[in-house]
A = this chain, B = another copy of it.
Amino acid sequence: MKAGTDLAQIGSLVGDPARANMLAALMGGTALTASELALEAGVTLPTASAHLAKLGEGGLVSVARQGRHRYYALADHSVAAMLENIMGVAATLGPKRVLPGPRDKAMREARVCYDHLAGEMGVAMLDSFVGRGLIRVDGEQAEMSEAGASYFAGLGIDLDAMGRKRRPMCRTCLDWSVRRSHLAGGLGAAMLERIQAKGWARREKDSRVVRFTPMGRREFEMMLRG
């Protein structure tokens, strides 16, 4: 009985179209203001404000005030993973699943999940790291090997700074499009950051799609080969 209450609480938060659209927008990882989210959800500011208050109370989003702006973001990695999971079920479930359009194809290939790379390329990346013994995976947990530490440091990632943060460095996140894991956590975020900084890929405007340049793709694949 109580289990049902918990389910219903989260479900009803996610179950409203306006709120769902806001959450989907926040899956992009960038924090957004109330006005932006109102636009995204197609409602006026007052309604958006009410929705965001509920999402905040429910613990699904966090808010950071910055002057007269309020930046909203998903509260937690676990919330992002949950939303991914729900979207995955929705994708496989509906009887009315037509063949995926080109946009969906790009989404399956490479997209942002909260703050790290997801999709086939994200999965391939974790596969490569595991196969080369740089990372060990155990369920949602993961850890870096000695070899991994020197490898990632060599890529220019500041492991010391990352180690000091509370956030776990290595995590995995289940990918709905492939139903396999990709790299999340601080390291996952850092890798995505590197990929963009090197100009291998860039975020598509107003979407979660990550677009690799032809050159970037080659470089990426070379990295995976070691």
Residues of chain A whose beta carbon lies under 8 Å from any beta carbon of chain B = 1, 3-17, 19-25, 27, 40-41, 58-60, 75-76, 78-79, 81-83, 85-95, 123, 137-141, 172, 174-175, 179-181, 208
Closest to A82 in B: B89
Q: Which residues of B contact A12 (CB under 8 A)?
A: 11-12, 15-16
Question: Would you call B11 and A14 a contact (CB within 8 A)?
Answer: yes
Docked CA distance A41–B60 (Å): 26
Q: How many copies does the complex hold?
A: 2
Closest Cβ of chain B: how far from A53's Cβ, in Å?
14
Docked CA distance A60–B40 (Å): 28
Known: A4-B17, A12-B12, A12-B15. A89 touches B93 (CB 8 A): no
Q: Which residues of B contact A87 (CB under 8 A)?
A: 3, 6-7
A/B interface sample: 21 pairs, CB < 8 A:
A1-B21, A3-B24, A4-B17, A4-B21, A4-B24, A5-B20, A5-B21, A6-B86, A6-B87, A6-B94, A7-B87, A7-B90, A10-B15, A11-B86, A14-B14, A60-B93, A78-B88, A82-B86, A86-B86, A139-B181, A141-B179
Question: Would you call A7 and B86 a contact (CB within 8 A)?
Answer: yes
Q: Which residues of B contact A175 (CB under 8 A)?
A: 139
Q: Which 3 A-B pairs have the closest CB atoms?
A: A11-B14, A12-B15, A4-B21
Docked CA distance A59–B90 (Å): 9
Docked CA distance A89–B7 (Å): 9
